[in-house]
């Protein structure tokens, strides 16, 4: 049995370099090959044409302008320009798919016009990311000859290169010189900065986040389509493998993503896309799918799912599975790593989420294209892959449910870890609980990104980032702090079949003014025991010791308004909460939700239930039990 390579860098052997063939990779067959495009599902083709019309109209109504760009510098608003740019990108991407679906001359003209407008933009970079890498300077308007290789610049270049690979010949017949212009823009904005500049996302100081594989995957597409020199292409590949290794070094063997389930689709998923391009441009010589922890990374999304539309959402994630998730990609990832359970889960989810063209098509252009060209992909063995329990030591995240693969019954997620993960919230010890798919205890998630979201001086003034708005203790009114040193201690997980339990000491997650010597948290999912008659439920137990008499509070965030019952219990939707231990006073705060990212998830409001110890003491214990009504 051959031992797989230990690093991505080690894949680039002399035979692998020789296997690289510049300008031979295509994202799909040429649009002139109508037989190759004849097998698409009629309903998918019709959807593409409908989406192309809608996205064309959206782009015409909201073009990218200088005034929209400047609203970030003036007021910290990211969305106005980003939405306008995404509209133009949606027009380009959907026009390319419409040309492939129909082969019509009118579709070629519409695509060429949209691509030309995209080439004419002063910057492909987003205003929030427009910082010169050599100085950090942030010009308020884009410089005429200087783009920045950020996420947006990368995926615009990647989309245009992919389109050129299957539609370029057709466009060149009608518009000679368009291909040269597109290639020139890709070289100037993507490949030249890639080869000459150093960015934070290269990960030279510490393992990078999702930016690394996301940008690298698109750089590889650009190089595969545009670069003519085999030696330069090999150098591009070598640089890509080095950065991908740095990204991989940030993952534990369990494959858990500290950026959360939402960002996995731009972290683990884009790593797959980078490895897929490398595999294809080298005729399989560059095969990184067996290198650890890549196979484990492929399993992460199904492990983090709660139900068919919900997921664990620590960090800057959302509680609902994003609508633009590609289960087709996950199935391909499972096939590449030889993991049948991942493939079956991807097909199971694919049957519940039909093909669709998203407005944000550029970041996922290849995902959309591959799924369009693979009708019937979700047929075959399919089964939910959500485990009965799973623990990731790398992020100290645990999930548990009553029955593997089922959203019915009780579900618990809990985490230890530290407060310096990518897209961090101060949430060490946080828990999420649902019953029969309905939320009981929640992690609110993150709102619309603004300048303040990524400014370290303002980020933790945003309520959704603070520990006092997560399901964690609040000792003496003191909140957790950001930073690697603010972490859980002694985290342990066990599942004996009857119960799954995560234990940790949360005291180190709080600053000295909290006066905590210890704060032992136990989060346990208890499964029903027919032999003893015990019902299923969730137990949250905190036992603490202060250095001086203090009052402990426990914060519990809920989607539904808690109801304080006359017997002292508290109703939360389908669940009933009871307390044992120190005497507490319960207070409920309604928090109106007006944020356009959070409102579709939670509706008009979320609620904050605070259980506060009545009398100060040096130590205490509180057990909160959740059972069905």
Q: Which residues pair with 613 in a beta bridge?
A: 584
Give the whole-angstrom CA distance, residue 335 versus residue 84: 37
With b for 16 or more beta-carbon neighbours within 10 A and e for fewer, the 575-605 pattern comes to bbbebeebebebeeeeeebebeebeebbeee
Pairing of strands 563-564, 575-581: unpaired
Answer yes or no: are the C-beta atoms of 519 and 473 closer than 8 Å.
Answer: yes
DSSP string, 372-417: HT-TTTT-SS------SEEEETTTTEEEEESSTT--SSEEEEEE--
Answer yes or no: are the C-beta atoms of 153 and 147 closer than 8 Å.
Answer: yes
Q: Which residues pair with 499 in a beta bridge?
A: 526
Query: Given this model, what pLDDT does residue 359 score?
Result: 82
- What backbone phi and psi angles, to 5 degrees, belong to 431? -130, 150
Give the whole-angstrom CA distance, residue 234 versus residue 247: 20
Query: Given this model, what pLDDT does residue 419 score?
Result: 98
293 cis-preceded (ω within 30 degrees of 0):
yes
Q: How many CB atoms lie within 10 A of CB 140?
A: 11
Helix (H, G, I), strand (E, B) or coil at 624: strand
Element (H, E) at 57: helix 42-61
pLDDT, averaged per 10 consecutive residues of the chain (629 residues), comes to: 83 97 96 97 98 98 98 96 98 98 97 98 98 94 94 98 98 98 98 97 96 98 98 98 98 96 97 98 97 98 96 96 95 98 98 92 97 97 97 98 96 98 97 97 97 96 98 98 98 97 98 98 94 88 98 98 95 97 97 96 98 97 97
Answer yes or no: are the C-beta atoms of 539 and 587 closer than 8 Å.
Answer: no
Query: Given this model, what pLDDT does residue 443 score?
Result: 98
pTM given for the model? 0.97
Helix (H, G, I), strand (E, B) or coil at 288: coil
Query: Given this model, what pLDDT does residue 144 score?
Result: 86
Comparing CA positions, the residue from 619, 398, 604, 613 lying closest to residue 499 is 398
């Amino acid at each position: 049995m051959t031992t797989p390579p230990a690093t991505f860098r080690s894949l680039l052997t002399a035979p692998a370099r020789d296997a690289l063939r510049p300008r031979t990779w295509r994202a799909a067959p040429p649009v002139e090959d109508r037989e190759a495009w004849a097998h698409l599902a009629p309903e998918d083709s019709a959807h593409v044409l409908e989406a192309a019309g809608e996205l064309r109209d959206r782009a015409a109504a909201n073009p990218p302008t200088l005034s929209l760009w400047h609203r970030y510098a003036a007021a910290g608003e990211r969305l106005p320009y980003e939405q306008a740019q995404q509209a133009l990108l949606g027009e380009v991407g959907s026009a390319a798919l419409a040309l492939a679906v129909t082969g019509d001359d009118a579709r070629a003209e519409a695509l060429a016009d949209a691509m030309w407008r995209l080439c004419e933009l002063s910057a492909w970079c987003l205003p929030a990311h427009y910082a010169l890498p050599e100085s950090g300077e942030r010009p308020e308007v884009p410089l005429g000859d200087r783009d920045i290789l950020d996420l947006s610049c990368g995926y615009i270049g990647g989309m245009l290169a992919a389109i050129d690979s299957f539609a370029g010949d057709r466009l060149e017949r009608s518009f000679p010189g368009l291909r040269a212009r597109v290639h020139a823009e890709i070289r100037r904005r993507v490949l030249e900065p890639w080869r000459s500049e150093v960015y934070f996302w290269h990960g030279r100081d510490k393992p990078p986040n999702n930016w690394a594989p996301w940008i690298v995957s698109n750089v590889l597409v650009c190089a595969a389509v545009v670069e003519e020199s085999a030696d330069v292409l090999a150098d591009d590949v070598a640089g890509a493998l080095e950065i991908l290794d740095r990204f991989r070094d940030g993952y534990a063997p369990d494959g858990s993503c500290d950026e959360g389930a939402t960002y996995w689709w731009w972290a683990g998923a884009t790593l797959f896309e980078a490895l897929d391009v490398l595999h294809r441009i080298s005729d399989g010589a560059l095969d990184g799918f067996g290198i650890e922890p890549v196979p484990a990374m492929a399993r992460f999304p199904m492990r983090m799912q709660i139900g068919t539309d919900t997921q664990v959402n620590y960090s800057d994630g959302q509680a609902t599975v994003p609508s633009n998730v590609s289960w087709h990609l996950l199935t391909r990832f499972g096939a590449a790593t030889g993991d049948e359970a991942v493939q079956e889960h991807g097909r199971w989810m694919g049957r519940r989420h039909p093909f669709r063209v998203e407005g944000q098509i550029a970041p996922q252009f290849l995902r959309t294209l591959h799924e369009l060209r693979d009708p019937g992909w979700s047929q075959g063995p399919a089964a939910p892959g959500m485990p009965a329990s799973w623990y990731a030591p790398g992020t100290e995240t645990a999930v548990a449910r009553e029955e593997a693969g089922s959203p019915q019954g009780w579900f618990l997620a809990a985490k230890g870890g530290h407060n310096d993960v990518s897209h961090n919230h101060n949430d060490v010890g946080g828990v999420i609980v649902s019953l029969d798919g309905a939320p009981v205890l929640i992690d609110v998630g993150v709102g619309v990104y603004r300048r303040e979201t990524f400014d370290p001086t303002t980020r933790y003034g945003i309520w959704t980032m603070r520990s006092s708005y997560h399901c964690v203790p609040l000792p003496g009114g003191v909140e957790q702090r950001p930073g690697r040193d603010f972490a859980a201690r002694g985290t342990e997980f066990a599942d004996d079949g009857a119960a799954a339990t995560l234990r940790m000491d949360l005291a180190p997650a709080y600053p000295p003014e909290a006066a905590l010597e210890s704060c032992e948290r136990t989060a346990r999912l208890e499964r029903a025991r027919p032999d003893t008659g015990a019902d299923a439920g969730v137990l949250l137990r905190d036992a603490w010791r202060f250095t001086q008499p203090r009052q402990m509070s426990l914060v519990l965030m809920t989607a539904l308004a808690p109801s304080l019952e006359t017997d002292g219990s508290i109703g939360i939707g389908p669940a009933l909460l009871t307390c044992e231990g120190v005497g507490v006073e319960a207070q409920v705060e309604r928090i109106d939700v007006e944020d356009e990212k959070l409102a579709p998830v939670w509706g008009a409001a979320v609620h904050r239930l605070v259980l506060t110890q009545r009398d100060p003491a040096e130590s205490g214990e509180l057990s909160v039990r959740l059972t069905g009504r």
